[in-house]
């Protein structure tokens, strides 16, 4: 079981099941939730690559399942600048302190959640697609630094008013891009060792069961509740970024 004791493995299974249940239901959130809780059972330098591998599997699974629902017109600005942000983030990670950048993202997300709650999600302003550039760059930047850049990309899709299935599908395309770029970076940095792969493999059943349960719930919640759940997970992410 890699780095985990029997008791730690049971807790890790429950955490991963819950986190990927949320991922299956909303399309995002598994990374920050998993990292935030698994650090009680695994060293942080192992948690991020382990969760990365599990997230990559989830992104490919959901991306394949929802492929026909992707809104391709929403992707170009977001996709290109997410890749740019991932590359810049890797450079920042090697040369500069990352904490101040993650705190700024957390403050931005919490302000956005407060605004969206006051406005009501369905009444959020509809932004133009060019907003995918700054929000995608921010998502890629934080993704490289912390493994959790999704919130800014989620905010973009919310303000584009995507229907919940299209929201989940389009996010997975960006998540697959993130997986390819970050996977290459982690490999070059030597973070994807055999023990990391073994630990991920032991946790994979919880990912599968979580995604199935979340997918079941995805088709049984209405749009209003879906939007509220998205904001609650974003709030958790914002707090986690502000208070590591």
CB within 8 A of 66, min separation 6: which ones?
165, 168, 169, 172
Q: Given this model, what pLDDT does residue 227 score?
A: 76
Q: Which residue has the tokens 């991920």?
A: 200
Is residue 54 one of the residues assigned to a domain? yes
Distance between CA atoms of residues 177 and 76, nearest Å: 12
Read off the pLDDT of residues 71-96 as tens digits, 9 standing for 90 and up.
899 889 999 999 898 888 777 766 66
Residue 216 lies in a domain: yes
132 to each of 31, 187, 198, how far by Cα in Å?
A: 21, 28, 36
Q: Please give the pLDDT value at position 209.
A: 95
pLDDT tens digits, one per residue of 176-231:
888 888 788 778 877 677 888 888 899 999 999 999 998 898 888 887 788 788 78
Residue 20 lies in a domain: yes
Span 28-71, pLDDT tens digits: 778 778 877 887 787 766 777 888 889 888 888 888 888 888 88
121 vs 164: CA distance, rounded Å: 12
Residue 141's contacts (CB-CB under 8 Å, 6 or more residues apart) are 85, 86, 88, 89, 92, 101, 149
**Is the predicted pLDDT of residue 13 greater than 90, yes or no?**
yes
- 232: in domain: yes
User: Is 1 contained in some domain?
Assistant: no
Q: How many domains does the chain have?
A: 1
230: in domain: yes
* Domain-embedded: residue 115: yes
Which domain, by its residues, includes 131?
Answer: 6-242
């Amino acid at each position: 079981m890699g780095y985990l004791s029997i008791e730690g493995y049971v807790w890790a299974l429950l955490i991963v099941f819950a986190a990927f249940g949320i991922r299956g239901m909303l399309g995002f959130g598994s990374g920050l939730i998993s990292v935030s809780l698994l650090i009680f059972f695994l060293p942080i330098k192992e948690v991020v690559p382990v969760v990365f591998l599990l997230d990559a599997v989830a992104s490919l699974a959901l991306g394949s399942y929802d492929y026909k629902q992707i809104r391709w017109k929403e992707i170009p600005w977001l996709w290109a600048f997410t890749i740019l942000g991932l590359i810049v983030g890797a450079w920042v990670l090697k040369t500069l302190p990352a904490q101040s950048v993650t705190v700024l993202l957390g403050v931005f997300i919490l302000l956005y959640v407060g605004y969206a709650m006051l406005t009501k999600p369905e009444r959020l302003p509809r932004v133009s697609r060019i907003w995918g550039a700054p929000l995608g760059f921010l998502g890629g930047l934080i993704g490289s630094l912390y493994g959790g850049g999704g919130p800014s990309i989620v905010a973009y899709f919310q303000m584009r008013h995507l229907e919940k299935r299209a929201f989940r599908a389009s996010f997975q395309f960006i998540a697959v891009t993130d997986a390819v770029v970050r996977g290459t970076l982690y490999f070059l940095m030597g973070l994807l060792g055999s023990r990391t792969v073994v630990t991920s493999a032991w946790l994979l059943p919880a990912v599968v069961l979580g995604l199935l349960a979340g997918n079941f719930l995805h088709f049984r919640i209405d749009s209003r509740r879906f939007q509220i759940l998205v904001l609650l997970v974003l709030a958790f992410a914002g707090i986690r970024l502000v208070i590591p």
